[in-house]
Amino acid sequence: MIPYGRQTISEADIAAVVRALRGDFLTQGPLVEEFERRFAETVGAKHAVAVNSATAALHLALRVAGIGPGDRVVTSPNTFLASANAAAYVGATPDFCDIDPVTYTLDPVDLEAGWLDDTRAVVAVDYAGQSCDLPEIARVARARGAIVIEDACHAVGGAFYAEGVAGGPWSQGGNRWADLAVFSFHPVKTMTTGEGGMLVTDRADWAELARTLRSHGIVRDPARFETAADDEVLAERGSWSYEMQELGYNYRLTDLQCALGLSQLGRLPEFLARRREIVAAYTTAFAGLEWLTFPGMRNPADAATASWHLYTVQIDFEMLGKTRPQVMAELRAAGVGTQVLYIPVHLQPWYRKTYRYGPGKCPVAEAFYARALSLPLYPSMTDADVAQVINAVDALDLATIR
């Protein structure tokens, strides 16, 4: 069975984790700082903060930016739940605007048309590894006093060209239009730490606060202590001294995970190159199928720079004469696993009950969901695996002749 996605682990990755196991630190050691430094260099950001999930990174991004009760946070409905849930975690109102029908990312035209005065942040999701139209999203948001958080969970190592802007490609997570960005290192993503995430920003104060919040809000540097020196209880200082200055969380990433992350980061170029090869093969093979629409691109030049976490096609099931469950079952019988990504977040029961969202709010995203199917895409796929997927898709339509 060829799954829709999976981790790609080498002997070098395993050896890196074993070395960490034999070292002095299993968590909160030097590999965390090294991973943060090298990741920041890779994406072109000044600061990186490693955490135990991208969900934690999203939560911290909103916390450090001061988003809270009374604020509205707009994101895409075509994403995993965490992109919106993080807004609820900080007491803000999660809201949604529709997607662009070509790239399946947040549509800046719909964002501007539906803007509400209490909107203070936009979480722009780089669906499948393609960048949102960040320059336009930033133009809309910043003119109205809102920040832009790039949800680059699908886009580790990716880059994009900005229409009408000299230079490029611009790194996803290290560009001038996002105030903060977050990444995921889940096993099916571009690279992995098992579980894990990263927050990046150019603002030193936000990065420092994020590091404090990820470890229970604790500060250990005496130079930053807030307690007065004549405090009767805490006047005595020593190596054990610490202060809890914020209500924080246990969002730490371990040295073991960072050892794997560092090894995978060194392999990132090969991962990206192979993903792009597979996408090119799929797109060429599926060009003649009337009932299948492969992912479009805002800028054709991005084909050489996008990270391609997912390859999500749209299938006209009515034209094909089959339901989506039937198609998935036939592909599975041919040894090909698929997935549906994603059910529009605003249609989930909790969002319907809590915010009274429902069908019709984001019609493009809803139409996309009705036809979406993600095919296998991961670096360790062989050419034979790719051919097996292509042949299985062809076989869905008995009229297809190659």
Name the domain boundary from 207, 230, 260.
Answer: 260
pLDDT in tens, 3-23: 999 999 999 999 999 999 999
399 domain-assigned: no
Residue 102 has a pLDDT of: 95
In a domain? residue 302: yes
Last residue of a domain, one of 260, 277, 302: 260
> Are 296 and 245 contained in the same domain?
no
In a domain, 402, yes or no: no
User: For residue 183, what pLDDT is reported?
Assistant: 98
pLDDT at 24 over 60: yes
**Are 250 and 341 in a shared domain?**
no
pLDDT, residue 400, reads 52
pLDDT at 42 > cutoff 50: yes
Look at residue 232 and tell me whether its pLDDT is greater than 80. Answer: no
Question: Can you give the pLDDT at residue 167?
Answer: 86
Lay out the sheet containing 119-125: strands in order across.
Answer: 47-51, 197-201, 180-184, 147-151, 119-125, 72-75, 93-96
Q: Are residues 123 and 248 in the same domain?
A: yes
Averaged over 346-353, what is the pLDDT?
Answer: 98
Whichever domain contains 313, its CATH number is 3.90.1150.10
Do 39 and 158 share a domain, yes or no?
Answer: yes
Are residues 59 and 152 both part of a single domain? Answer: yes
The model's pLDDT over 302-334, given as tens digits with 9 standing for 90+, comes to 999 999 999 999 999 999 999 999 999 999 999
Are 204 and 280 found together in one domain? no
Looking at 226, 260, 294, which one is the last position of a domain? 260
Domain span including residue 26: 11-260
The answer on 128 and 30 residing in a single domain is yes
Confidence (pLDDT) at 229: 64
The enclosing domain of 189 has a CATH number of: 3.40.640.10
Enumerate the β-bridge partners of residue 183.
198
Both tokens of residue 377? Answer: 């895409």
Q: Is residue 127 part of a domain?
A: yes
DSSP 144-201: TT-EEEEE-TT-TT-EEPPTT-SS-PEETTBSSS-SEEEEE--TTSSS--SS-EEEEE
Phi-psi region of 308 (alpha: psi -120 to 50; beta: other; left: phi over 0): left
What token pair was written down for 347? 């249609």
Beta strands, E only, 8-164:
47-51, 72-75, 93-96, 119-125, 147-151, 159-160
The pair of three-digit structure tokens given for residue 357, joined into one six-digit string: 């969202």
169 vs 146: CA distance, rounded Å: 25
Contact (Cβ atoms closer than 8 angstroms) between residue 94 and residue 85: yes
The long-range contacts involving 273-280, CB below 8 angstroms and separated by at least 24 positions, are: 274/379, 274/381, 275/129, 275/190, 275/307, 275/308, 275/309, 275/377, 275/378, 275/379, 276/303, 276/304, 276/306, 276/308, 278/308, 278/311, 278/377, 278/381, 278/386, 279/303, 279/308, 279/311, 279/377
Nearest to residue 309, comparing CAs of 343, 283, 274? 274
pLDDT at 41 over 60: yes
The whole-number pLDDT of residue 399 equals 56
Share the mean pLDDT of the chain: 96
Decide if 3 is inside a domain.
Answer: no
Question: Do 107 and 30 share a domain, yes or no?
Answer: yes
Q: Provide the whole-model pTM.
A: 0.96
**In 11-117, where do the E strands start and end?**
47-51, 72-75, 93-96
The answer to whether position 126 is within a domain reads yes
Total of domains in the chain: 2
| pLDDT tens track for 243-299 | 999 999 999 999 999 999 999 999 999 999 999 999 999 999 999 999 999 999 999
Q: For residue 80, what are its two tokens?
A: 């995993």
Residue 233 in domain: yes
- 197 Cβ neighbours under 8 A, 6+ residues apart: 50, 51, 52, 53, 54, 55, 56, 57, 153, 182, 183, 184, 185, 253
Say what the pLDDT of residue 244 is: 94
User: Distances from the Cα of 106 to the Cαs of 19, 97, 202, 336, in angstroms?
Assistant: 42, 7, 23, 30
Q: What integer pLDDT is reported at residue 402 of this predicted model?
A: 43
Contact 181, 210 (CB under 8 A): no
Is 192 within the bounds of a domain?
yes
Confidence bin at 401 (pLDDT 50/70/90): very low
Report the alpha-carbon distance of residue 247 to residue 199 in Å, rounded: 19
Q: How far apart are CA 253 and CA 256, in angstroms?
A: 8
- Per residue in 57-96, pLDDT tens? 999 999 999 999 999 999 999 999 999 999 999 999 999 9
Q: 350 and 207 in one domain?
A: no
Looking at residue 239, its pLDDT comes to 87
Residue 21 to residue 57: CA distance in whole angstroms: 26
If asked whether residues 57 and 191 sit together in one domain, one would say yes
Residues near 30 by beta carbon (within 8 Å), at least 6 away in sequence: 255
Residues 255 and 290 in one domain: no
Identify whether residues 200 and 326 lie together within a single domain: no
